[in-house]
Structure 1
């Protein structure tokens, strides 16, 4: 069964009614095993680019236990691109760059976008 992005992000996203913080959290949830369990802390919008966000997220893993807070960097697509890819989760994930602590290149991205 295909899950559409519309099922995860309300239609108000395209209309611009969702706050930037809420919108970025919905994008982060696309990359989690259990999006409904997501807990956020230390979330900040990048000073270098409005569509880049830094923070920590905790969510349930495949075993059902909370994995612990992990730092992340999310660089969202620009507004024109978001409208084009809002129908499919996999397409949206291709255009949003999500990197977590421990992944290759994370520290470099954290130092660029989050400091």
Structure 2
């Protein structure tokens, strides 16, 4: 089994409210908002956006997350650089990170 495409785009921001309004002006709708300045937005059947506010001392970042149906069934080629194996997340999934040949880090997400 391989990945099933991009599942999500995780963004960090210095202002959750302004970011949410920006994406809503682009046609995204708010799925849910947390009590700690973050939330999930969607625009059609494609990847969802999850935006989380971080302190001003951290630079805003973006991370693409690829979908994996079953973490145990994932078959990676032997040469893939695994940065961290699948680990449980606090939001109810499992996440793994791998590095591509150019040094970019990618997240793979599977159901728990």
State TM-score, norm by structure 1: 0.29
Pick the structure with more strand per residue.
Answer: 2
Larger Rg: 2
Give the structure with the higher percent helix.
1
